[in-house]
Amino acid sequence: MPSEIVLASSSEIRARILRNAGLEIVTVPARIDEEMIRQSLSAEGATPRDLADFLAESKALKVSSRLPGALCLGADQVLELKGKVFSKPESPEEAISQLSELSGQTHRLLSALVVVRDGAPLWRHVGEARLTMRPFSAPFIADYVARYWEQIRHCVGCYRIEAEGIRLFSAIQGDLFTVQGLPLLPLLNWLHVRGDLDT
């Protein structure tokens, strides 16, 4: 195992994914202004893929600057529907609006992961999943948000597939780890190639 793996995030889901895979990690929130970065890059015409990758790298670099020698993992996820990039909802009303737009549509989730050591990116990957939502009625959406607001308020797209949110979908193409925001298998393969994990 590498001496220290640091997840540059406070995400409980990402930390759980890594720990369930047997990795010993610590979590250190990166504290970057994600919304400002998103707006700036979007104004410059960055693609959703580039946006996810840049945010993931920014988080890893921020934490790496404080922790010499550590492998710092930065992760970010972008939801894109017909060229529009979605952010985490700020209110239940915004969650209802987002789910109304996603209803009956197929959207993309782009989950980026960048590993940095001593300020230098060592590895990066952007996983993609395509998710098709069932069509919902307005009362259903309002009820769903009312019941699950505290659980979905930190989720882009306003759903959690590891819970009842899975019922919102008719089809999912892609790795479920990518849907949850951390493309685990490519990371594990890279750590194996480096000799950090036993085979």
The residues that are catalytic are 76
* Other C-beta atoms lying within 10 Å of the C-beta of residue 153: 16
The answer to whether the CB of 173 falls within 8 A of the CB of 130 is: yes
- Tell the residue number behind the tokens 């819970």, with chain if given: 163
The answer to whether 57 and 116 are in contact (CB under 8 A) is: yes
3-class SS at 33? Answer: coil
| 26: amino acid identity, one letter | V
Around 60, how many Cα atoms within 13 Å sit in the side-chain half-sphere? 28
What single letter denotes the amino acid at residue 166?
A: I
Q: Please, where are the H alpha helices in 65-183?
A: 92-102, 138-152, 176-179
Distance, CA of 158 to CA of 146 (rounded, Å): 12
CB 43 within 8 A of CB 63: no
